Amino acid sequence: MPVKPGQHDMINQQQLLLLHQERSKAQKKWLKQYRTEVAASVSSICSTFCAFPLDSVKTRMQTYKYNNFTDCVRRTYQTEKLRGFFRGVAAPLASVTLVRTISFSVYQRSKYTYSAWFKRNFDVDPLVHINTFGTYPTLATVACFGAAGATAGSFITLVACPFELTKLSAQVSVLMATKRQTSLSDPVRNSPMQNATAASYKDKGTFKTAMNIVKNRGVSGLYSGFNLHLLRDTLGTAIYFMTYESCKQLLTTYTGSKGSTSPFAVVVAGGFCGVASWALIVRERNIFLWC
């Protein structure tokens, strides 16, 4: 049967349309399957860029004495310029993205595992309960989300510890070197070898800081304070997710949102769980820098 003029173009357009639809379906299926990992990765990159200057100031204020927040910002800018606020940003860009992706992935899978365990042993399903409108947190839901958070926190410590130490060392490298040079009254802390070591970290980027740590302490130096980091991440992540899920459930019930989680509840619960786990982070960082 002869092909009419323009029929080839119509057939090609139909084939392209079908191919585009199949590809779109495959992409949607992939995004649905890995939506937790994709959301965690994108949010981590955005939040790291926005929050890192504040995180840098926070680390400095936790480690050294400043009059207030403004004083810390002013003195940092005077001595290190804008670069000082972003020193060490490469480490969290890599680590936070990787760690949060792994953390949320492990947490999501763990909470289903623990919920199934509660169902088998106590005939209580925490996930069904928390998604039922008008309910409140119970011991089972708190325990389920706490155990899932602790599992995720302990799992990521092996990956997060080297990046955390490198980031903190880079953030306060100039301050550490300056403090060594001005501690003339302490001959032990002001020894030539220790001064040289401190100076080698001064004004270095993330990767040079990591190389210096390996050079001065060996590969194991990247895991200085590992036990403390493991304790912090295990407890901190457990508290984080227990608080988040419980607050979200309470606020969703209180606001009367049926069929879906209240956006207001998500925002408030996210902020509150960060505050609840804050004390562990402050104490751990103060010790971590001197390990």
The residue ranges of every structural domain in the chain are 89-288
Query: What is the rounded average pLDDT of the residues 228-244?
Result: 91
Confidence band, pLDDT 50/70/90 cuts, at residue 184: very low
Query: What is the rounded average pLDDT of the residues 182-186?
Result: 50
Percent of the chain surpassing pLDDT 70: 71
Q: Which of 5-19, 211-225, 226-240 has the lowest mean pLDDT?
A: 5-19
DSSP strands (E only) in 200-278: none
What the block records as the tokens of 35 is 């939506």
Q: Taking 60 as the threshold, does the pLDDT of residue 202 lie above it?
A: no
116-150 per-residue burial string, b: 16 or more CB within 10 A, e: under 16: eebeeeeeebbbebbeeeeeebeebbbebbbbbbb
Measured between alpha carbons, how far is 257 from 269 in angstroms, rounded to an integer? Answer: 15
Report the pLDDT value the prediction gives residue 285, as an integer from 0 to 100: 55
Query: What is the rounded average pLDDT of the residues 224-239?
Result: 89
Measured between alpha carbons, how far is 214 from 225 in angstroms, rounded to an integer? Answer: 15
Q: Which of 85-89, 154-158, 277-281 has the lowest mean pLDDT?
A: 277-281
Q: Where are the alpha helices (DSSP H) in 123-225?
A: 126-130, 139-171, 173-182, 192-200, 206-217
Measured between alpha carbons, how far is 280 from 152 in angstroms, rounded to an integer? Answer: 17
- State the greatest distance between any 2 C-alpha atoms of the chain, in Å, as a whole number: 100
Q: What is the pLDDT of residues 216-228, one digit of tens each?
A: 889 888 898 899 8
Confidence band, pLDDT 50/70/90 cuts, at residue 21: low
Query: What is the rounded average pLDDT of the residues 246-274?
Result: 82
